[in-house]
Amino acid sequence: MVELNINSKYTLPTGHEIPLLGYGVYQTPADVTEEVVSQSFKAGYRHVDSARAYRNEGPCSDAIKKSGIPRSEIFFTSKVHPRAMGYEETKRSIQSSFAQTGLDYIDLYLIHAPYGGKEARTGTWRALVEAQQAGQIRSLGVSNYGVHHLEELEAYIQELEKQHGEGKGGQISVGQWELHPWLPRPDIVEWCEQRGIVPEAYCPIVRGQRFGEPSLQALVKKYSKTAAQILIRWSLQKGFVPLPKSVTPSRIIENADVFDFALTPDEVASLETKEYSPCSWDPTTSHD
């Protein structure tokens, strides 16, 4: 296994790099977001995962601008609001992201959820591709897509390429899902691996709901690490980009302190279950 550190990155299909560890700001109130994102930078994170629906893109960008860290070293993600699906709505969503952040570019823009029907989903993708071609967005992706949604999008990308030429349909660079040992989603992960798509893991520590599991506690004792640290390390070793979130300074630091130990391949396998137990929403199962 390649040795990982907090500066490790994956190269996306677009050629841009994504840091292996992200800091999530889901449900982080806007009035504390700038402070906690600044704390994350001090702890070594260089990757912030926001969204239109979180209503905190602006404070994230304030932290980025005031950090003293070169913009090129920070990876910032936003997402199309699930209620802003469709070509025109998405164009407005992207414009609003830039108005609120004042950034010159956004590293990654995801479709937050596969809602609204096929026409809305494909229209949203087309708007994202146009923004990427205009230099506003560097890489594109999806969140909460089931395999059937992924295959629909792949077919649409091929359709766009037939109409406009090779490479003109956009690329799925990243997919974001709830991923952890009690929701490993092998079908989706395999689909991504076959295409070089990087899987990101939200809720990587399962909101603390499974910290008492015997298989996890055995590793907590062995490595003298917290259950959260073991789960984040598991995610990293699975090839995911975990996005832990916390507004507690000590936990922000703790969640990044996962590079001084490694699980064995058997331990990675022993944690994974065949359960399908979301602790959050699960739009992957939608069929509209």
Contact 33/63 with Cβ under 8 angstroms?
Answer: yes
CA distances 1 to 58, 179, 238, 243, Å, are: 38, 21, 11, 21
Cα 237 to the chain's mean position, in Å? 16
112 catalytic? Reply is yes
CA distances 50 to 39, 91, 139, 189, 222, Å, are: 16, 18, 15, 22, 34
54 catalytic? Reply is yes
Contact 216/230 with Cβ under 8 angstroms?
Answer: yes
DSSP H stretches of helix in the chain:
30-42, 57-66, 87-101, 118-133, 147-164, 186-193, 214-223, 227-237, 249-256, 265-271
Residue type at position 172: I
Using CA atoms, how far apart are residues 83 and 190, in angstroms rounded to an integer?
29
Catalytic residue among 23, 54, 109, 156: 54
Catalytic residue among 112, 145, 156, 180: 112
| Catalytic residue list | 54, 112
